[in-house]
């Protein structure tokens, strides 16, 4: 049976985070994950996780100055102090709630200096924790100017750094928007994948919408031997509770 994680950055994001965790449990999800949970005290989240029996699969480093359009810090030259503070914050929070992974957000940058500083900050992160450090290419339509823009670029960075706890966040939505051929790319990259996420293409709705045929993708994921929950990181078309017909189909 395929198992799923609720990404609470998008699902039940109208609820306080502990209540969203409880809603995910009640709806049949097997785990949860977050974007930026830092406004909620870690012990409160830990208590909700223990109450529900759900694991926290991951969280993100902060984006920086969102009002100025920033979307991560770790590939920005001359911002290493802030980038590493964000990494420290994410790792400390992950330790407190026992989150499995930390997504280190690169930010908007380009060129050799950005590449070098991103590797330096990823080395810092992978040395500081045994938890999985994830990097995720974002598609150019939603995140123009983002440093990490393809799975090939991410694969090369992972190979160059050669740290066992540095992995690829394979988001079927972003790959579908940027590269296409999702099943082939996932099959090729599975050895370096640390987490898989889903949403419809092109509108990032629930996975029973759009042009990607998720029954085929889920079948391939099972065939490949993937056993961890798949992250449902989509923007519901309406209320979260009414968007979950796909979940009931695959978990009952």
Active-site residue, 39 included: no
> Is 136 known to be catalytic?
yes
C-alpha 102/C-alpha 130 separation (Å) is 11
* H helical segments located in the chain: 17-27, 42-52, 80-97, 112-128, 151-161, 172-178, 182-189, 214-223, 245-251
Quick one: which of 126, 146, 11 has its CA closest to 76?
Answer: 146
Catalytic residue among 136, 160, 179, 249: 136
Q: Could you give the angle at which helices 112-128 and 151-161 cross, rounded to 10 degrees?
A: 60
C-beta separation of 245 from 236 below 8 A: no
Q: Which of 120, 188, 233, 249 is catalytic?
A: 233
Cis peptide before 202 (omega within 30 of 0): yes
C-alpha–C-alpha distance, residues 109 and 118, integer Å: 10
Rounded distance between C-alpha atoms, residue 61 and residue 93, angstroms: 10
Residues annotated catalytic, as ranges: 136, 233
């Amino acid at each position: 049976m395929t198992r799923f994680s609720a990404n609470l950055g998008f699902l039940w994001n109208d609820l306080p985070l502990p209540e969203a965790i409880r809603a995910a449990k009640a709806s049949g999800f097997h785990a949860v994950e977050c974007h930026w949970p830092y406004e909620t005290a870690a012990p409160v989240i830990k208590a909700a996780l223990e109450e529900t029996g759900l694991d926290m699969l991951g969280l993100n480093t902060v984006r920086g100055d969102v009002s100025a359009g920033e979307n991560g810090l770790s590939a920005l030259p001359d911002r290493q102090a802030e980038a590493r503070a964000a990494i420290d914050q994410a790792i400390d929070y992950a330790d407190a709630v026992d989150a499995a992974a930390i997504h280190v957000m690169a930010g908007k940058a380009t060129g050799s200096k950005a590449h070098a500083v991103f590797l330096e900050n990823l080395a810092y992160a992978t040395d500081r924790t045994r938890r999985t450090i994830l990097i995720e290419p974002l598609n150019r339509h939603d995140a123009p100017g983002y440093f990490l823009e393809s799975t090939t670029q991410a694969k090369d960075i992972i190979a160059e750094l050669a740290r066992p706890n540095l992995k690829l966040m394979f988001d079927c939505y972003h790959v579908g928007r940027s590269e296409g051929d999702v099943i082939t790319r996932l099959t090729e990259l599975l050895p370096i994948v640390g987490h898989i996420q889903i949403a419809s293409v092109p509108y990032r709705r629930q996975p029973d919408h759009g042009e990607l045929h998720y029954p085929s993708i889920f079948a391939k994921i099972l065939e490949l031997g993937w056993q961890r929950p798949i992250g449902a990181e989509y923007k519901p078309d309406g209320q979260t509770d009414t968007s979950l017909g796909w979940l009931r189909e695959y978990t009952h």
